[in-house]
Amino acid sequence: MTHINRSLHVVGLGGTLGPNSLSRRALEVALDAARDDGATTELLAMDDLNLPMYVPGWDLGDYGAEVHRFIDTVRRADAMIWSTGAYHGTLAGVTKNALDFLQFLENDEYLDGIPVGLIATAGGDIAAVNAINAMIHTAHALRATTIPLSVPIGKAWNVFDGDTLRDSKIARRLETLGELVVNTARQLQDTRPLILTPAHVSLSGAVN
């Protein structure tokens, strides 16, 4: 049995707090590909979220509206794409802080059944791979399903020209990632139990 057919919703989480974030630009390329593949998309950019620091032991009600909006948006995701800048050999602190807030999805089984695609940008060659590996550990701890294709982008300053992604190979990998996220979400959705609401069922009991 499957869910009632509907557009899959892909939420992108990424960027940094600095201006002209390359990790945000890379994320936007992947989200565009997901949208071209039939999904609806939503961007949670770090410089727009204005999240406070996560404090262990605080309840969700102890935080302001920005945290509630963040959690509500992630809760509506059928799939996610995370994109981080790599700082000092691993993912950016602002990214990890945002992911720590997903503790508030504990009662929803965290990100169980949610596919997550991973992107990292770095100034050198190694840090982007380290950042991807760190996000894989976090995704698995949150019970997410990581997409087997990830996109570490080393020397990212040489890949972008202003708003233009000039490396066609990287562009294709980001587009493929967006497509794989959507396709994986479709496959996972087909394995979940049928969810019916009164709007889906006629008086005769048939599914509309």
For 6-53, how does the pLDDT look when each residue is reduced to its tens digit (9 = 90+)?
689 999 999 999 888 999 999 999 999 999 999 999 999 999 999 999
pLDDT at 63 over 90: yes
Span 86-124, pLDDT tens digits: 999 999 999 999 999 999 999 999 999 999 999 999 998
Query: H helices within the chain, ranges in order?
Result: 22-36, 46-49, 65-75, 93-100, 127-141, 168-189
Reported as a pLDDT band with limits 50, 70 and 90, residue 183 is very high
Q: What is the pLDDT of residue 13?
A: 98
Nearest-angstrom CA–CA distance, 31 and 51: 22
pLDDT at 149 over 90: yes
Mean local confidence (pLDDT), 193-200: 39
DSSP secondary structure letter of residue 16? -
Q: What is the pLDDT of residue 202?
A: 31
pLDDT at 197 over 60: no
Strand partners, 14: 45, 83
pLDDT at 4 over 90: no
Mean local confidence (pLDDT), 156-176: 90
Reported as a pLDDT band with limits 50, 70 and 90, residue 162 is confident
> What structural domains does the chain harbor?
9-200 (3.40.50.360)
DSSP secondary structure letter of residue 110? T
pTM above 0.75, yes or no: yes
Q: Which of 191 and 70 is assigned the larger pLDDT? A: 70
DSSP secondary structure letter of residue 123? S
Q: What is the pLDDT of residue 6?
A: 67
